Amino acid sequence: MAVNSKGGWIQDRILGSGGFGQVVLWKHEDNDQYIAIKTCRVQNEMTEKHKQRWKLEVDIMKRLDHTNVIAARDVPPPLEVTENELPLLAMEYCSGGDLRKVLNLPESACGLKEYEIRNLVKDISSAIEYLHGKRIIHRDLKPENVVLTQSEDNKTVYKLIDLGYAKELDQSSVCTSFVGTLQYLAPELFASQKYTCTVDYWSFGTVVFECITGYRPFLPQVPPVTWHREVCQKSPEDICAYYDSDGVVKFSKKITSPTHLCRSMQAYFEQWLRIMLRWDPRQRGGGLGEDRKPQCFKFLDTMLDMKIVNILNVSTNQLLSYPLMEQLSMQDLQRTIEQETKIKVADQDILFASGAPPEPNQGASQCWNVPGEEDWVVFLFKKGDQNDPKIKFKSIPPRVQQIVKEPSTLLPYPEQKKAWAEAVWFCNEQVIDFKRLILSQRAAMLSLLRTNSSFLKLKAKMVNECDQLLAKLQYFKESLQFDLNTYADQRATGGIVSDDLFKKWKNVGEEMEMIKTQREQVNRVDQLATALTTKIVELQRSPFARAKQNETLEEMEKKSRELYQDLRQAGRGNREQYKDHKPMVQVVVKCVMSRDKSLSDLYTHLNKICGCKHELFKILPDIQKCCKDISEASDKLLKEQRSRQEDIWNLVRRAQIQASGDVARQDSRSSSNPGSDHASMLLSICGESTAPESIRVCEDNKEQVRRMGIMLDDVLREQDEYTSMMDWSFLPPLDNT
């Protein structure tokens, strides 16, 4: 096949074709630059009005500059056309394709994920508001005119394209031309009535409804004339219409089919859609606010900025969602949870995926995270044993129940397609639910391990302090016994005595013997803690501790998507082989059986984790009490040891006083011996049972007595020598008679 090349630009492929135009992707062979160029395929067959519309689109596109509106580019000179031809429209290339391509994916059969819807609505509403601010009505909003591209931070960006039907408002802001795609047209456009920019509100609301549910809101398979006749009867608040089993048209103010939205966000979107899908164009959009901004965009901004926390009530497998108002505290959030779940605030065990609990003194916003492709979920457990969890399995949608009960009953293709789409949604929800529960058990296990770590440290502290206490007690007993023995010995030799003191020491020794019973209590608690630790180790070895998914559920979800895709791609002539629902029913039944078995096993494992945590908190007070008792016993032991030392020091002081008195009364030669005896007596009283300071004081006292004796001997000797040298002749002779 010949390659179309012009001046270094190579034609890559055709991106799309419309009524008159065709968009071709070109790639530069040197720098891999891409550019999309819209050309007119049938300009020779176009009326002057159509040519003017073509030129208007090119002119409008060149004047626009917004992130969410496709950007016009300069046409490369080698690709430019002659002046006689209709101008080309060069545009940036968006590699993600259009929104219709995304909606046609099997996983989008019942709508897009919440994160995708939020981004889409935010981007396209910004583009519409920008166009209306430029006094431009798009008039042809539909999934085919929304394209996707990736930003530098790898985020999907949605852009509006194809302004071929766009019209600049005149001064009266009213138009009358009939344009656009019928399935997304506002009623006044369909009826060729005068219209304003609110026609874009209807089309935008219709596109958003389809992105949420997978189908258009009002009788999507009905011919235009019948559609207009039936839907015009809706009330201002109705946002969808469908045929019931009797063929009667029913309207609803709520979304009646399965979606991927959390309940809070779905309620907000339902409220917003009631504004956007009003039949009366004067009421549509809610009018203008005081700042001249349309109320529908103001409400949308508030809605998309709302912080919503998702909490999985693990015991019932129910996902709760709550909007977070400003300054909402954790206590306020917990009281709200209590009102719905009947779980008292004191019994709520709220955990993050990390296993850590929220800070009670911080706001409830800590339970919220910036929306992402993966849902941010906080897990709610009920404290205590989880012996009888009331699991709420996600119910099978009514259409799926119908084909399960009657798998051979033929259905019209639109009904069959919707039933199979809901089967895909159901299988996907089982996979999501199981993954959430796996994350919940992981959070519970991490919380248990986190608590067990502190628990083991406290237990080790208890055992260590108990060992130290018993060692102190042994030293106390040995030193006390030595003091008692030494006291008895010096009493027998006539030393200082005190019967009251002796009796007191013996009583204290008997009291301290009671400390030994602390070891029995510690051993009992230690055995319980060791047994619990063994259980926790076994839980860590469980297959659920490493599980990330259920392979059977994943396989059934994949199979359901394949069946749905085959049904859609079969074409009208080849759908006979898919009229039998048995293949899809088999997938659904196997999915349910696998879910029931897996969740039963998973909840058994969860019960064991919660049971261990409950048991841990039952043992924890015993450990804390043991630590407290050990600390008090240690303090008492130290107090008695100090008291006995004070008693010994009192005896030391008495001995010192007595020794000093004896030294003053005795002569120089005999004074040293009693002092030495008193020092010996003091040493015998103090003995080895006293502290090193006591022994040192006794030795110092003994040394002082010895030195005092030597000093007295020297004084007496010098006095004798001095006396012998004196002249005593003046004294009268002694009378010996």
Q: What are phi and psi of 494, to 5 degrees?
A: 90, 20
Report d(CA 114, CA 39) in Å as an integer. 37
The CB density around residue 674, as the number of other CB atoms within 10 Å, is 19
Strands 72-73 and 89-91: antiparallel
Asked if 682 contacts 700 with a C-beta cutoff of 8 angstroms, the reply is no
580 as an active site residue: the answer is: no
Q: Please report where in the chains the tokens 């089309």 appear, as a residue.
A: 203
Asked if 131 contacts 165 with a C-beta cutoff of 8 angstroms, the reply is no
Asked if 95 contacts 149 with a C-beta cutoff of 8 angstroms, the reply is yes
Classify the C-alpha dihedral 367-615-602-345 as positive or negative. Answer: negative
Report d(CA 420, CA 578) in Å as an integer. 11
Asked if 143 contacts 251 with a C-beta cutoff of 8 angstroms, the reply is no
SS3 label, residue 596: helix
Give residue 180's region: left, alpha or beta (phi > 0; psi -120 to 50): left
Q: Which has the closest alpha carbon to 160: 135, 192, 137, 186?
A: 137
Asked if 505 contacts 459 with a C-beta cutoff of 8 angstroms, the reply is no
Report d(CA 192, CA 727) in Å as an integer. 161
Report d(CA 242, CA 219) in Å as an integer. 6
The CB density around residue 430, as the number of other CB atoms within 10 Å, is 24
Beta bridge partners of 251: 241
The CB density around residue 5, as the number of other CB atoms within 10 Å, is 12
Q: Where are the beta strands (DSSP E) in 5-135?
A: 5-6, 9-17, 21-28, 34-40, 72-73, 89-91
- Return the amino acid letter for 18: G
Report d(CA 184, CA 189) in Å as an integer. 10
Strands 240-243 and 249-252: antiparallel
CB neighbour class for 370 (10 Å; exposed up to 12, middle 13-18, buried from 19): exposed
Residue 209: partners with Cβ closer than 8 Å, 6 or more residues away: 216, 217, 239, 240, 255, 273, 277
- Return the amino acid letter for 233: Q
Active-site hit among 32, 59, 65, 140: 140
CB neighbour class for 418 (10 Å; exposed up to 12, middle 13-18, buried from 19): buried
Report d(CA 672, CA 663) in Å as an integer. 7
Q: Which has the closest alpha carbon to 236: 280, 188, 298, 185?
A: 280
Strands 9-17 and 5-6: antiparallel
Buried b (16+ CB within 10 A) or exposed e, 226-244: ebeebbeebeebbbbbbee
Give residue 578's region: left, alpha or beta (phi > 0; psi -120 to 50): alpha
Q: What are phi and psi of 170, to 5 degrees?
A: -85, -175
Active site residues: 140
